[in-house]
Structure 1
Amino acid sequence: MTPHNELRLLPWSGPDGKPCYLSTDTTGGPLSRLADHAESAQLAASTELLEHAREVLVDETSDPEELRLLATDLTCALRDALRVAASRGHRLPETHASGHGGDAGPSLPAAAFG
């Protein structure tokens, strides 16, 4: 495995709200495993919150306070999911398209995304 010298965005913020980063040459160290576990827990909690949101939104008796709390929770979950996506995206291996049989993966036109 090639050493990875980039900083990893961790799934939590520092005490001042700023992002935390991990600098390591390995992906299996204790702090990396803790971050992996935290990311999984955040995504699982987001999945549960999404199901709860569906229930609240179809319930016509939901009051404004409940909707406000739901919006706050969804905002936090989205922040966490975006942080996980950014962190994982930065850790994907680079792919280089080449004219020598290299496969850079599927290529879709912009129209495919709506």
Structure 2
Amino acid sequence: MTPHNELRLLPWSGPDGKPCFLSTDDTGGPLSRLADNTEAAQLDASTELLEHAKEVLADAESEPAELRLLARDLTEALRDTLRVAVSRGHRLPAPAPAAHRGDASGPRVPAAAFG
């Protein structure tokens, strides 16, 4: 197991709206499992909301109030999804140092890879 060197951003905010963090080396502890389950539920809800949004936006007769509610719900889902992405991104292992390359332009991908 790699040593813990960063706090985990939890998928909820404190009562004052500030972010909550967890400091532990035990990724299988009860609070870590609760956070994992909450992240999964938030991502599932975002997926369902996205499908609903496609339906509402495809309906030319959608009312302004329905569109405002949809925008609010999508904003909340985006906030949650971004928090999950940031939290998971911070928990990724640090990349190994790149071997010395002749140039600093990064990996080369053939143009055919882009269709």
Asked if these proteins are the same fold (TM beyond 0.5), I'd say yes
Report the count of equivalent residues: 107
What is the percentage of aligned positions where both structures have the same residue? 75
User: TM-score when scaled to structure 1?
Assistant: 0.86
Determine whether 1:45 maps to 2:45.
Answer: yes
Q: Does the C-alpha gap of structure 1 residues 67 and 87 become closer, same or farther in structure 2, counting only changes over 3 Å?
A: same
For 1:44 and 1:99, locate their aligned partners in 2 and report how far apart those are by CA, in whole Å.
39
Shift of 1:11: 0.1
Question: 2:73 matched to which residue of 1?
Answer: 73
Q: Identify unmatched segments of 5+ residues in structure 1.
A: 101-105
Q: How far off its partner does 1:5 sit?
A: 3.0
Q: 2: CA distance between counterparts of 1:7 and 1:90?
A: 9
In structure 1, the partner of 2:5 is: 5
Runs of 4+ in 1 over 4 A off after TM superposition: none
Specify every segment of 5 or more residues in structure 2 that has no aligned partner in the other structure, as ranges. 101-105
SS in 1 for 2:94: coil
Q: Tell me how far apart the structure 1 counterparts of residues 76 and 96 of structure 2 sit (CA, whole Å).
A: 35
Residues 1:71 and 1:23: Cα distance change in structure 2 (over 3 Å)? same
Q: Which has the larger radius of gyration?
A: 2
Question: What CA distance in whole angstroms lies between the structure 1 residues aligned with 2:22 and 2:108?
Answer: 34
